[in-house]
Chain A
Amino acid sequence: MTMGIQGDGGDRHMDGNVLAGPLGELFSVDVTAATGTCAQCGRNGPVAGLPVYANAPGMVARCPGCDNVLMRLVRSPDSAWLDFGGFTALRIPVPGR
């Protein structure tokens, strides 16, 4: 289980920066640098800036505007369950070509 940057945390929320490791295990791009659009209220913002709750069995990122659940990540010993269902889109920066 991961807590906030700077280590041991409490029960309040962290932010999307802490998803960089767990998502980095799965993707070759840094998803925390992406800009996400909330499917419920249309708010745009960086994944790194989202409030993240890590005191559940997994990690849950919510929309700071409307509290909609944007993303859930649960890691089991042999798989990762990832739900990005609260976003309509992610704009992911990629190196220029």
Chain B
Amino acid sequence: MAGTAVPRGLTSRPLVWRVARLAAERWETPTARTLTFDVPNWPGHLPGQHVDVRLTAPDGYSTQRSYSLARPDRVELTVERLDDGEVSPYLVDILAVGDEIELRGPVGGWFVWRPTGRRPVLLLAGGSGIVPLMAMIRARREESSGTPFRLLYSVRSPADVYYKDELGHPEPGLDVTCLFTRETPEGWPRPPGRLTASDLSRRAGLADSDPDCFVCGPTGFVEAAANLLVAHGQDPQRIKTERFGPTGG
């Protein structure tokens, strides 16, 4: 299960907090906003890596969270607002272009895809777990990689889909399947529901490709998806997972 150390030049040691200025923003859904930051002397990163974000209040109270990087060529995050959250409502609703926050990274050398990889890739996303997987999809495009990619994206309803334009028009070699859990578009052939073994059989291409698997989403989604993959005969050592809190998917 060994990962590989991130190549020199893609880590910044010692890891320091840097000032990041919001340069651009756009809404992905009514509850999620993509934030693009300018970070002087950013060392670059690999798709799948994340940053820690730190906010400090005027009274000195400080708190931090981790967010995956959404694209390979910029420091860009997509943040979902959790109404009882301490950080995400600020990042989604209040932070304005020109405002500054602190972040450190890139960090995380395990849940990464290297564009030099030749093995087919299966991406399983639950809700906002799409973010680091989108960085991998974008890196594949940027590198003109011919590596076959399949994405199964489990999401509550069509209105909750991130990156609609890009995922709606996938480039050759990228196969995108949305699995709606609550509400589907009209006439959608699959009834709403969570990821099943049958979805994997029909859409994941496991039988003919033996892919590297990346699974990201809420803890419950990740555990269910990883168990389904193993039950399907997938080698656990080729399944990489990233979990987050109880909401999402």
**Contact of B64 with A2 in the complex, beta carbons under 8 Å:** yes
**Contact of A20 with B50 in the complex, beta carbons under 8 Å:** yes
A10 vs B247: C-alpha distance in the bound complex, in angstroms? 8
Of B14, B68, B110, B111, the residue contacting A6 (CB under 8 A) is B68
Does B230 sit at the interface, judged by CB under 8 A? no
What total of chain A residues lie within 8 Å of the partner, measured CB to CB? 40
Looking at A10, A35, A91, A95, the one whose CB has the most chain B CB atoms below 10 A away is A10
**Contact of A95 with B5 in the complex, beta carbons under 8 Å:** yes
A10 vs B51: C-alpha distance in the bound complex, in angstroms? 19
**Contact of B4 with A93 in the complex, beta carbons under 8 Å:** yes
Q: A12-B246, A30-B11, A95-B8 are in contact. Are A6 and B67 (CB under 8 A)?
A: yes
A10 surroundings in chain B (CB, below 8 A): 245-247
**Contact of A44 with B1 in the complex, beta carbons under 8 Å:** yes
A77 to chain B: closest CB distance in Å? 11
**Contact of B105 with A21 in the complex, beta carbons under 8 Å:** yes
Name B157-177 residues within 8 Å CB distance of A: none
**Contact of A5 with B86 in the complex, beta carbons under 8 Å:** no
A32 surroundings in chain B (CB, below 8 A): 3, 107-110
B217 to chain A: closest CB distance in Å? 9
**Contact of A7 with B80 in the complex, beta carbons under 8 Å:** yes
Q: A13-B219, A33-B109 are in contact. Are A6 and B5 (CB under 8 A)?
A: no
**Contact of A21 with B15 in the complex, beta carbons under 8 Å:** yes
Does A80 sit at the interface, judged by CB under 8 A? no
Does B57 sit at the interface, judged by CB under 8 A? no
Does B234 sit at the interface, judged by CB under 8 A? no
**Contact of A20 with B107 in the complex, beta carbons under 8 Å:** yes
Q: A12-B219, A25-B14, A30-B6 are in contact. Are A5 and B1 (CB under 8 A)?
A: no
A33 vs B88: C-alpha distance in the bound complex, in angstroms? 28
Of A7, A28, A44, A47, the residue contacting B66 (CB under 8 A) is A7
